[in-house]
Structure 1
Amino acid sequence: MVGTLYYPEHAGPRPAVLVFSDILGIGDHSRERASRLAELGYIAFAADLHGNGQALSIPDALERLERYLETPEVTTGRGEAALARLREVPSVDPDRIASIGFCYGGMISLEMARRGAPLSAVVGFHSRLTTSNPDGARLIQGKVLACIGSEDPDVPADQRATFEAEMRAAGVDWQLHVYGGVYHAFTDWRCDAAGIPHFARYDAAADRRSWASMCALLGEAFAAED
């Protein structure tokens, strides 16, 4: 598993952010987001999902997704391995680490939190909110933000309602932002080339608004632990 680490200009122990890509794997989108986080002063680790730091073709990624969904321990195992590696970086403050993810990567972040991973904050962008471990919400240690398009067929209203009930029952500090008229993969400018507008569309406004919400949450979560 070969990820990419991004450093800010400032030295010394810094807050850090894990960045998990969509099911295609590490690529331009996740690396660009990690680079932007470094510009904000965080150490950012764009984690590898499939091995050798490679992205997959869409058919290969969908086939891999089916297997991963049937074996959630693979999802959480790879996420936890990335977290363990990031915590070993000398300039990382191990008490101030967040995890963000896009689509499948957001599901990884949420599942890690449900397993009690020591994360200050978790953010999922257009990620599925379902889980095979709903009782795990009581183990969530940090703040949670899910950013979802109202028209995303992969995250319908009943799934959002179930997630809300799960978070409320566990007493989690959570937020769910729903962007009206927005579809799946709204942060990824590459998705329009796939030609499936009924499922996935880039939306510049939702991309900008969700990123701003994430920045506010990270600032709040890390400041609370100073």
Structure 2
Amino acid sequence: MNGLSPKDARAINVRTVDYVADGLAMRGHLAIPAGAGPHPALLVFPEGYGLSDQAILRAERIASEMGYVALACDLHGEARELSGLEEVLEKLEPLQKSSACVRERVVPAYDALLAQPEVDPAKVGAIGFCFGGTMALELALTGRDIGAVVGFHSGLALTAPQDAPNIKAAILLLLGADDPSIDAEQRLLFEQTMRQAEVRWEMHVYGGVRHSFTNPRAHERGLPDWLRYDPIADRRSWNAMRAFLDELWAAPDGGTSVKTAMP
């Protein structure tokens, strides 16, 4: 999955980070590049099923390949990964309807990441997959001091779009054109919201690509017309994220003043 050559890979260390969010005992997986810090850092929010190998391996890949600290975040408590779609939808329903509920999950994760001594607080961002991308966007809506948000096949339905002017982050969305859960109308509405709030944003849309295109296990869910891995879109979206973050965090202020840097 990594596609790393030996010269690209860095040694990493990992540890568990325990925190409490929304009354749940959360257990995140922290990946740290070897070497002197502090380092840029990313929250990695998982798909709606919960903390899975996908999120954990992506966090480790970020640390090894990019030299950032990465925290693969818990979603349902005790590092659980749900198996049934009905249970997932039931668990996500209150988070999708209430900004207070979803923020009770994402803000403590952000605080837990900032508390790690290896983290450079001036270069912190959030990425996410599926509902995890929505969680990253919701964190940005709180006005927290994050420089970047990247959503892979991210849901675009925000609980509180009126809070978009609070966003300090630059946003990159990486979406499948044939994703039945994120249609062109939703993409247009999101674009309008970001424009009105004067947020720095961009969106890459991959033709012929469906939901969960970054997850090699997507076929295991048995929903091929909805969830389908696409290795080409996976590779291109990952490279797009790398270029986006490399450019953003090369700025003297670490990307924390992206609105003032807009053309």
Same fold (TM over 0.5): yes
Q: CA–CA distance in 1 between the matches of 2:93 and 2:107?
A: 20
Q: CA–CA distance in 1 between the matches of 2:131 and 2:149?
A: 14
Does residue 1:33 correspond to 2:58, yes or no?
yes
Does residue 1:104 correspond to 2:143, yes or no?
no
Q: CA–CA distance in 2 between the matches of 1:85 and 1:13?
A: 15
Residue 2 of structure 1 aligns to a residue whose secondary structure is: strand
Residue 246 of structure 2 aligns to a residue whose secondary structure is: helix
Q: CA–CA distance in 1 between the matches of 2:96 and 2:167?
A: 21
- What amino acid is the match of 2:193? E
- What amino acid is the match of 2:33? P
Does residue 1:192 correspond to 2:219, yes or no?
yes
Q: 5+ residue gaps in structure 1?
A: none
Which of 230, 233, 240 lines up with 1:213 in the alignment?
240
2:229 is aligned to 202
Q: Is the 8 A contact 2:140 2:166 kept in 1?
A: yes
Q: Is the 8 A contact 1:86 1:92 kept in 2?
A: yes
Does residue 1:175 correspond to 2:185, yes or no?
no
Q: Normalised by the size of structure 1, how large is the TM-score?
A: 0.97
Residue pairs, 1:1-226, within 5 angstroms = 1-39=26-64, 40-58=66-84, 59-224=86-251, 225=253
Q: What is the CA-CA distance between 1:70 and the residue it aligns to?
A: 2.8
- What amino acid is the match of 2:70? A
- What amino acid is the match of 1:17? L
- What amino acid is the match of 1:123? V
Q: CA–CA distance in 2 between the matches of 1:162 and 1:45?
A: 30
- Stretches (4+) displaced over 2 A: none
Q: Is the 8 A contact 1:10 1:41 kept in 2?
A: no
Q: What is the CA-CA distance between 1:132 and the residue it aligns to?
A: 2.6
Residue 131 of structure 1 aligns to a residue whose secondary structure is: coil
RMSD value over aligned CA atoms?
Answer: 1.1
Q: CA–CA distance in 2 between the matches of 1:67 and 1:215?
A: 32
Report the more deviating stretch, 72-81 or 12-21: 72-81
More helix by share: 1
Q: 5+ residue gaps in structure 2?
A: 1-25, 255-263
- What fraction of aligned residue pairs are identical, expressed as a percent? 45
Q: Is the 8 A contact 1:153 1:184 kept in 2?
A: yes
Q: What is the CA-CA distance between 1:15 and the residue it aligns to?
A: 0.5
